[in-house]
Amino acid sequence: MPPPDRRTAHAAAQALDLALSDAQADQLIAYLALLQRWNATYNLSAVRDPQAMWLQHVLDCMAAVPSVRRQLAARRSAASTTPTPAARPQILDVGSGGGLPGIVWAVLMPEVDLCCVDAVGKKAAFIRQAAGELHLPNLRAEHARVEALAGRRFDLITSRAFASLADFTRLTKPLLSERGCWVAMKGKPPLDEIAALGWPETMFHVEPIAVPDLAATRCLVWIESEPSAPI
């Protein structure tokens, strides 16, 4: 199977009802090439085949973007009390690894600021390299444990392969803005993890997502501490 190109990138975006410019398509393809190159030395991903990387990593993260945009817009609308322009949404990607979903989201959502944090130095270095090579001024990386970010606030905190839902929310709760929420990218709905969150103290909603050309179950688990906005 040939490597992804603009045509395949645009086809995936169309299937997801996402607007995608040629420049963004080129950024996604360049990201995949960069991930492959670094992966040969630094083992950023267990997936080696470029087509599998495209499906399981890039398209998987792309598939979440429409839902993330809707959620950010709904919360911003609910919080709007003045006609002054609101600050740019702040997203934290915890345990970002090879920049998933942070790098893909930074390409597709230039209207938000993305911070990727990882405790492994080589992974944070990769994300910084990607931000430079892909010309992503809205992307930054932190080589730190998430606890070291104390004092910052984020509108959305996400994780793709960081920890259980209970640990994910417990460790990052001090970083969540007043009307913020969490979204965890999962395969099958993690019913045991959801049960361990402690309803009704934590509100949640499981949203199935479909990844183009990927025959696997994927979902987003939306979580908030208080029912301040509709999920």
Give residue-wise pLDDT tens across range 27-57. 999 999 999 999 988 888 878 888 989 999 9
pLDDT at 143 over 60: yes
Please report where in the chains the tokens 């607007």 appear, as a residue: 19
Residue 226's Cβ-count burial label (10 Å; 0-12, 13-18, 19+) is: exposed
Q: What is the rounded CA–CA span in Å between residue 60 and residue 52? A: 11
The answer to whether residue 229 scores a pLDDT higher than 90 is no
| pTM of the shown model | 0.93
* Domains of the chain listed by start with CATH number: 6-59 (no CATH), 63-224 (3.40.50.150)
Q: Sorting pLDDT into bands at 50, 70 and 90, what band is 230?
A: very low
Would you place residue 81 in the very low, low, confident or very high pLDDT band (cuts 50, 70, 90)? Answer: low
**What pLDDT score was predicted for residue 87?**
86
Give the CA count within 13 Å in the CB-facing half-sphere of 127. 32
User: What is the helix, strand, coil percentage profile of the chain, to 5?
Assistant: 45, 20, 35
Mean pLDDT of the chain: 91
What pLDDT does residue 85 have?
A: 54
Which has more confidence, 164 or 86? Answer: 164
pLDDT tens for each residue of 173-205 = 999 998 899 999 999 999 999 989 876 667 889
On whether the CB atoms of residues 189 and 219 are closer than 8 A, the answer is yes
